[in-house]
């Protein structure tokens, strides 16, 4: 109802009724035409009509926070010790292998160059050595001998050895000295740093050579030295003393580099040591050069097999160990040494050793040149 009061006039009842009817018609038209008026309806009426008021973003976010449990903020605290962690450092950073590669190439070249010079000097002093030996024997006969002279027995034993056995005797002594150094507690840190090869270590190049003379287990050293002693006569008679030393040292460094590459590619980082890679090159060279030679195992001498079959079995076993991830031996180093020995016998001897004459001639010119410029630089081997 609409009431209009005036101090002077008062509408009649008819006028009031007319105004009321007009107000009702106006309200009905407004409710029919104006859809926004629905937003002011009660919630129960909206639900009955099938409408729902759209919630604002702030209200949606508040509702989600009320329903969902609170999420903890990410923490930078270290994981508990029982959670496995990734190994530190980049396990597959092949850029770190550039220095070992250059060291391998340079050391191999220096080894064969030094071997060529060593052979040249040995041939040059052979005549003088012969006269020295004759003089030593003559003086030995003039000097009174004592019965049971220990020095004489040592000399007789040394002279009874073959050239190959005398050559590898120095290698065996070096390995024995390094093995004794492992037993000194104060040297443990230095031994791990310089006498074990590990691609994750800060020192990469020098351990490639020193680890070839390093053994921590006596059984490991004894087995390697026995194999080296067994094949020493064959390999030295085939290559010569100087060339054998170049092949042996180069094989040790090359096998370690192959181990670096495989460990970096697979991410299985860890220290390695031992002369197995270099000895595998010696074994592979002899078996390739003499595949029909008969071999036997020390504990089973009744069973013999050819050197060619033995080489195939060893290469197959190391290949399987590398593929399957066996961790007891460094199979990559074994394969690297064996492949280098096979390659050198088939191709390397012709490619490297038989082309050493220009280098030896340069050394000969340097040796025969006088400080004043005199001397004839000519001459040949």
Contacts 24+ apart (CB under 8 A), 225-229: 225/172, 225/175, 225/275, 226/298, 227/279, 227/283, 228/168, 228/171, 228/172, 228/275, 228/279, 228/282, 229/165, 229/168, 229/172
Where does 34-56 have alpha helices with state H?
Answer: 43-49
* Residue of 215, 331, 334, 364 with catalytic role: 334
What is the distance between the alpha carbons of residues 343 and 147, in angstroms, rounded to a whole number?
A: 52
Q: Is 9 a catalytic residue?
A: no
Collapse the DSSP code of 55 into the 3-class scheme (helix H, G, I; strand E, B; otherwise coil) and give the result: coil
CA angle 356, 360, 366 (to 5 degrees): 155
Neighbouring-strand partners of residue 296: 304
What is the distance between the alpha carbons of residues 155 and 170, in angstroms, rounded to a whole number?
A: 16
Cα→Cα distances 115→109, 119, 251, 269, 377, Å: 10, 6, 14, 34, 22
What is the per-residue DSSP string for 222-257? HHHHHHHHHHHHHHHHHH-HHHHHHHHHHHHHHHHH
Tokens of 260: 């670096």
Q: Is 349 a catalytic residue?
A: no
What does DSSP say about strands 300-306 and 294-297: parallel, antiparallel, or unpaired? Answer: antiparallel
Residues 6+ away with beta carbon under 8 Å from 342: 284, 285, 288, 311
Tokens of 305: 């097999």
* Residue of 111, 234, 276, 281 with catalytic role: 276
What is the distance between the alpha carbons of residues 341 and 328, in angstroms, rounded to a whole number?
A: 23
How far from chain centre, in Å, is Cα 135?
54
User: CB of 280 within 8 A of CB of 228?
Assistant: no
Using a 10 angstrom Cβ sphere, with 0-12 exposed, 13-18 middle and 19 or more buried, the burial of residue 169 is middle
Tokens of 63: 């509702």
Query: What are the residue numbers of the active site?
Result: 276, 334
């Amino acid at each position: 109802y609409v009431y209009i009061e005036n101090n002077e006039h008062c509408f009649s009842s008819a006028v009031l009724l007319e105004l009321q009817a007009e107000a009702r018609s106006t309200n009905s038209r407004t409710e029919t035409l104006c859809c926004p008026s629905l937003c002011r309806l009660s919630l129960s009426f909206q639900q009955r009509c099938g409408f729902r008021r759209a919630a604002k973003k702030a209200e949606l976010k508040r509702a989600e926070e009320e329903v969902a449990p609170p999420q903890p903020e990410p923490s930078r605290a270290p994981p508990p010790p029982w959670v496995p962690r990734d190994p530190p450092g980049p396990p597959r950073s092949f850029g770190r292998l550039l220095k070992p590669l250059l060291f391998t190439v340079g050391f191999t070249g220096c080894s064969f160059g030094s071997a060529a010079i060593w052979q040249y000097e040995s041939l040059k002093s052979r005549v003088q050595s012969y006269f020295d030996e004759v003089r030593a024997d003559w003086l030995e006969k003039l000097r009174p001998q004592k019965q049971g002279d220990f020095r004489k027995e040592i000399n007789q034993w040394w002279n009874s050895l073959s050239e190959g056995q005398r050559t590898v005797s120095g290698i065996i002594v070096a390995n024995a000295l390094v093995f004794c150094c492992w037993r000194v507690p104060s040297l443990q840190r230095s031994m791990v740093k310089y006498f074990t090869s590990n691609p994750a270590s800060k020192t990469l190049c020098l351990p490639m050579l020193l680890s070839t003379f390093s053994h921590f287990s006596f059984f490991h050293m004894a087995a390697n030295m026995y194999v080296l002693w067994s094949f020493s006569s064959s390999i030295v008679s085939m290559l010569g003393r100087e060339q054998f030393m170049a092949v042996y040292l180069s094989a040790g460094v090359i096998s370690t580099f192959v181990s670096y590459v495989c460990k970096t590619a697979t991410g299985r980082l860890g220290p390695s040591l031992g002369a197995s890679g270099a000895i595998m090159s010696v074994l592979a060279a002899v078996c390739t050069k003499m595949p029909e030679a008969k071999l036997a195992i020390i504990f089973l001498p009744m069973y013999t097999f050819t050197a060619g079959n033995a080489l195939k079995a060893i290469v197959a076993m190391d290949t399987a160990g590398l593929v399957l991830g066996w961790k007891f031996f460094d199979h990559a180093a074994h394969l690297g040494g064996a492949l280098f020995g096979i390659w050198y016998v088939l191709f390397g001897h012709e490619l490297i050793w038989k082309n050493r004459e220009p280098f030896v001639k340069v050394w000969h010119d340097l040796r025969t040149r006088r400080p004043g410029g005199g001397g004839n630089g000519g001459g040949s081997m």
